[in-house]
A and B are shown apart, each in its own frame.
Chain A
Amino acid sequence: MYSSFVLPLFLEPVKAGFPSPASDYAEGSLDLNEFLIRDRVSTFYVRVAGDSMIGAGIFSKDILMVDRGLQAKHGDIVVAAVQGEFTVKRIFFKERDRVILHPENELYPDMELDCRDELTLFGVVTAVVRKLKP
């Protein structure tokens, strides 16, 4: 990713009337990559297919930012490999290596799995990207 969009941030409040002598100087800039990404090296993007997470504001065709460097915590939204397929779900850890993958959509059931052999965690979802205009 070589293009990053840099927006200038002006700390000086805008005053009507005469201009502030300091307003010529931008105080910094906002970089969405910096805001959204903890670590570029371990962050991957994936594309959502399906509506199993609409309750969490994740819709089909959304892009998810997935950080593989983070340890998944109870209640995190994760991408995991189950039966040879990537799935995005909320994860709950139970006793004795059991985990629940919980869809945020009533139409889908919870899946209870053994985290040693029935699932491989890919990473923790840290952001959703959805463009409203093409």
Chain B
Amino acid sequence: MIALVDCNSFYASCEKVFRPDLQDKPVVVLSNNDGCIVAMSKEAKDLGIKRGAPLFKCRQQLKDQESLCFSSNYTLYQDLSNRVMALLARETSHIEVYSIDEAFLSVDSPPSATREWGLEIIKIISQNLGIPVSVGVGRSKTLAKAAATLAKKSPQGYFAMLPSMEERVLKEIPVHKIWGIGPSKADYLLSRSILTAWDLRNMDDWDVKKTMTLVTLKTLWELRGKPSIEDEDPQTDKKGILSSLGFSSPIKEKQELQRAVASYMSRAVRKLWSQNSQTSNVTVFIMTNRFKENYYFKEYSQRLENPSSYLPELIKAALNCLEHLFIRGLEYHKAGVLLHGITPEASVQLDLFSERNNSRDRISLVVKEMEQRYGRDILKPLASAMEDRWAMKRELLSPAYTTCWEELPRVY
């Protein structure tokens, strides 16, 4: 069995962890550049506020309810996400971190103990981090995903779709609600009177393969309880460092994508620093939702002249890769940075300009120290800082509670 653990209203939940005054208040989180709502708490959902709505449309409504708007604080969300995933990894033999707020876990416990295991996970994440999660269990990822949707509606946040329940449950799920069935596929299926997940499950393999795509065929197998969708991250060689995550809502703007890639690179470089090593290759990949029409996945690699662990240089390389990948008009779902050709710092040949390298090392050290003292954004490569048109929205940004000594939560 496979479990999907999904953080409830993740960004909004993160904002609440260090704000006890907001516990039962509506909270919404905005995208950084266009002022649209990308996430909201349960209380905000109950007000009828919709994801993707521009802030100005619901400003008055939010004001009346004493609710709070936040600008996306990715530093905070990423730190809490890392902690969630670290705790989850302790509860399973295999974890696939699917996005910043979701992970697939293989269920190792016997069927009779699965419920207990799922409820224990909910309790652990809630107690240790204050983040509410729900757990859906099924025989495949697609079934686990469907179960997780039902789990969100159950009071305990847990739902297992046992094989014996599949028929009853799948007959209740409209076809467009299935993971991987986008609007146009759903329209096509509806036109053929395939209305529910159960109808799709019972379609003929050849029919699906002929009239739709292999991806849909896999979805069909998954609905039958046969795991067919493999892990999403590209295979990395053992010496590689991968930093990649799905976005919680799709990104269209190049600028936003650049910021994501730069931040993934910062994470990867931190790993590099912690291993005292350098990298000689940078690969960046971006992808759209693979279940949607015109699925786009592309990666681009750049070899560095000299192995490096110098953040600005590596960010520059990553952004250069992105130039070769980005196509306007697509909705990107995931991006990642891969460092490979990693060597220990000591074994890197010193070139004639080793003096320059020394000054770079010193810069890296200063950056590390400044960031810990004053926060991630105190120093940044000029290129990305110049493009920071969203700086004026900073009044909505919550502190980097967990990653900056100057911004720790206060206790009285």
Interface residues on A, range: 20 to 34
B18 contacts which chain A residues (CB < 8 A)? 86
Question: Beyond A2-B273, A41-B83, A47-B409, is A85–B21 a contact (Cβ under 8 Å)?
Answer: yes
- Residue among B273, B274, B411 with the highest chain A CB neighbour number at 10 A: B411
Question: Beyond A2-B274, A2-B368, A3-B368, is A46–B128 a contact (Cβ under 8 Å)?
Answer: no
CB distance from B411 to the nearest CB of A (A): 4
Q: Are B411 and A68 in contact (CB under 8 A)?
A: no
Question: Beyond A50-B412, A88-B412, is A81–B368 a contact (Cβ under 8 Å)?
Answer: no
8 Å CB contacts to B: which residues of A30-88?
41-42, 44-50, 52, 63-64, 68-69, 79, 81, 84-88
Interface residues on B, range: 20 to 34
Q: Are B412 and A42 in contact (CB under 8 A)?
A: no
1/0 per position for B267-279, CB-CB distance to A under 8 A? 0001001100000
CB distance from B5 to the nearest CB of A (A): 15
Q: Are B411 and A46 in contact (CB under 8 A)?
A: yes
Question: Beyond A41-B83, A86-B412, is A81–B20 a contact (Cβ under 8 Å)?
Answer: yes
Q: Are A68 and B130 in contact (CB under 8 A)?
A: yes
8 Å CB contacts to A: which residues of B129-143?
129-130
Q: Are A49 and B128 in contact (CB under 8 A)?
A: no
8 Å CB contacts to A: which residues of B13-68?
18, 20-23
B128 contacts which chain A residues (CB < 8 A)? 41-42, 68-69
CA distance A110 to B303 in the complex (A): 64
Q: How many A-B residue pairs have CB under 8 A?
A: 70
CB distance from A103 to the nearest CB of B (A): 10
Q: Are A85 and B273 in contact (CB under 8 A)?
A: no
CA distance A39 to B118 in the complex (A): 22
A49 contacts which chain B residues (CB < 8 A)? 410-412
CB distance from B150 to the nearest CB of A (A): 28
Whether A1 sits at the interface, judged by CB under 8 Å, is yes
1/0 per position for A84-105, CB-CB distance to B under 8 A? 1111100000000000000000
CB distance from B75 to the nearest CB of A (A): 14
Q: Are A1 and B412 in contact (CB under 8 A)?
A: no
B184 contacts which chain A residues (CB < 8 A)? none
CA distance A87 to B410 in the complex (A): 8
A126 contacts which chain B residues (CB < 8 A)? none
Whether B162 sits at the interface, judged by CB under 8 Å, is no
A48 contacts which chain B residues (CB < 8 A)? 410-411
B83 contacts which chain A residues (CB < 8 A)? 41-42
CA distance A68 to B402 in the complex (A): 14
CA distance A45 to B23 in the complex (A): 20
Q: Are A46 and B412 in contact (CB under 8 A)?
A: no
With CB as the reference atom, state the residue of chain A lying closest to B407.
A47
CA distance A84 to B412 in the complex (A): 11
CB distance from A3 to the nearest CB of B (A): 6
Q: Are B411 and A41 in contact (CB under 8 A)?
A: no
A86 contacts which chain B residues (CB < 8 A)? 18, 20, 409-412
CB distance from B171 to the nearest CB of A (A): 41
8 Å CB contacts to B: which residues of A108-132?
120, 122
Q: Are B408 and A47 in contact (CB under 8 A)?
A: yes
Q: Are B20 and A41 in contact (CB under 8 A)?
A: no
CA distance A50 to B401 in the complex (A): 19
CB distance from B7 to the nearest CB of A (A): 15
Q: Are B274 and A46 in contact (CB under 8 A)?
A: no
CB distance from A124 to the nearest CB of B (A): 11
With CB as the reference atom, state the residue of chain B lying closest to A85.
B412
CA distance A88 to B408 in the complex (A): 14
CA distance A5 to B248 in the complex (A): 36
CB distance from B363 to the nearest CB of A (A): 15
With CB as the reference atom, state the residue of chain B lying closest to A62.
B411
With CB as the reference atom, state the residue of chain B lying closest to A39.
B128
With CB as the reference atom, state the residue of chain B lying closest to A58.
B411
Whether B87 sits at the interface, judged by CB under 8 Å, is yes
CA distance A50 to B410 in the complex (A): 10
With CB as the reference atom, state the residue of chain A lying closest to B87.
A41
CB distance from A72 to the nearest CB of B (A): 11
1/0 per position for B177-196, CB-CB distance to A under 8 A? 00000000000000000000
With CB as the reference atom, state the residue of chain A lying closest to B127.
A68
CA distance A47 to B409 in the complex (A): 6
- Residue among B372, B408, B410, B412 with the highest chain A CB neighbour number at 10 A: B412
Among the listed A69, A84, A88, which residue makes an inter-chain contact with B20, where contact means beta carbons less than 8 Å apart?
Answer: A84
Q: Are A52 and B412 in contact (CB under 8 A)?
A: yes
With CB as the reference atom, state the residue of chain B lying closest to A1.
B372
A-B contacts, 8 listed (Cβ < 8 Å) = A3-B369, A46-B411, A49-B411, A68-B128, A68-B130, A81-B23, A88-B411, A120-B20
User: 7 closest Cβ contacts across the A-B interface?
Assistant: A84-B21, A81-B20, A42-B128, A47-B408, A86-B411, A88-B411, A41-B86
**Using a CB–CB distance below 8 Å, which chain B residues touch chain A?**
18, 20-23, 83, 86-87, 127-130, 270, 273-274, 368-369, 372, 401-402, 405, 408-412
